[in-house]
Amino acid sequence: MPTTYVAVDLEAIKHNLQQVRSRLADGSQLMAVVKGNGYGHGMVPVAQACAEAGADWLGVSLVDAGVQLREAGLELPILVFVPPLAEDCQLAVAQGLTVTVTTEEHLAWLREAAQATGQPALAHIYVDSELGRPSADEDLPRLIEIAAGFPQLQITGVYTHLDSTRQPAIQALDIIKPGAELQAFAATVKALGRQHLGTQLLFHAAASALFLQQPEAHLDMVRIGTLLYGQYPAVVSQKLRTLDLRNTFELRTRIVGIAELPRGATVGYGKEFVCRRETRVATLPIGYAHGLSLIPESLARRRHCWWRRLLRERDTDYAIIGTQQVPIIGRIAMDQCCVDVTDVPEVQVGTEVVIPTRRVTISSTVPRCYN
């Protein structure tokens, strides 16, 4: 086993997906979002686990990621969220990926790619919801009408994405019936599909937060990321946190050295941490090159950086040995950091340590070990 590694529990991911499916509205499909290297867990193994657990679709950011999944043998429909550049369209079409489009130019690129490969080009149209991203918006009917004139181009869905950092806005129709605004838009999308394409378009809007907050928004499909990885979106209230989610990710390392420092000694670059007592300091072989924050939260608090806490910018401020939390002290270096183990006298060189951290920020060079 490597000294520093990420332990990934694929069975927990499967369990979490099944928990989500148990709450899914009848007729709704489930897209497992595996962007960001599977939220730091490793994209291909996570995607395979989700496929085995019953996911209907997979979601990635870029064409290259979709190609990796195809090369790994995954045959589920794959939606690419970021609209591709012209040079990526032919590869996307050849691999049977469904890409996001927002402009007539995107349609033209896909038409050319379909003609070059002899395969149909698959696409969903994105409509923005106050995120300021490129969007079809008022051009939606025109894009569907144009696509209808391209036999090689198949528009199979329309979607939007709501801001998960705040509660969903209450629109006029929602006062009468929860979710009515989205359902009205979905009805418009389906009418456009029948009118111009002679088919039923998928419409999807809900990611993890809205999935829990508003069952009426499940519609044709939900896109689930955070929940699969054992975490709730911050905006979800406690009363809605009723899924039996399991932890899927642990960053683990081992103590490589222990020093006994006197009161007044300093730890780390800048000498910003001063020992207020005789302190037993353990060194861990992990630092910001692996994806940890440069300054631990404990030090930021001492420097009165209230805005970090306000913005929830918390990478890690402690490590865990057994069941006990130990503070990370001093600045985090490129390849090392220190923890105060004075209150855990039994630790020694080689003792395993778990570091809670944001999953996606952990470098892909850190080995992932799967159960």
CA atoms of 307 and 157, how far apart (whole Å): 41
CA atoms of 176 and 292, how far apart (whole Å): 47
In DSSP terms, 223 is beta-bridged to 31
Looking at residue 299, what is its pLDDT?
53
Each residue's pLDDT, cut to its tens digit, for the chain (371 residues) gives 899 999 999 999 999 999 999 999 999 999 999 999 999 999 999 999 999 999 999 999 999 999 999 999 999 999 999 999 999 999 999 999 999 999 999 999 999 999 999 999 999 999 977 555 555 666 889 999 999 999 999 999 999 987 655 544 444 444 344 467 888 889 989 999 999 998 989 999 999 999 999 999 999 999 999 999 999 999 999 999 999 999 999 999 999 999 999 999 999 999 989 999 999 999 999 999 999 977 664 554 454 454 444 444 444 589 999 999 999 999 999 999 999 999 999 999 999 999 999 899 999 999 999 98
Q: Do domains 10-233 and 256-350 have the same CATH topology?
A: no
Looking at residue 272, what is its pLDDT?
87
CA atoms of 177 and 175, how far apart (whole Å): 6
In DSSP terms, 260 is beta-bridged to 280
Calculate the alpha carbon distances from 64 to 72, 82, 110, 222 in Å. 12, 11, 16, 23
Q: Smallest Cα–Cα separation from 196: which of 159, 152, 143, 126? A: 143
Q: Does domain 256-350 have CATH number 3.10.180.10?
A: no
Cβ atoms 129, 169 nearer than 8 A: no
Give the residue carrying structure tokens 């990370």: 328
Looking at residue 315, what is its pLDDT?
45
Q: Smallest Cα–Cα separation from 97: which of 136, 108, 83, 139? A: 83
Cβ atoms 124, 31 nearer than 8 A: no
Annotated catalytic residues are 35, 269
Give the residue carrying structure tokens 């148990």: 22
Do β-strands 273-274 and 266-267 pair in parallel, antiparallel, or remain unpaired? Answer: antiparallel
Q: Smallest Cα–Cα separation from 284: which of 213, 339, 230, 226? A: 339
| Residue-range domain boundaries for the chain | 10-233, 256-350
CA atoms of 255 and 354, how far apart (whole Å): 11
Fold observed for domain 10-233: TIM Barrel (3.20.20)
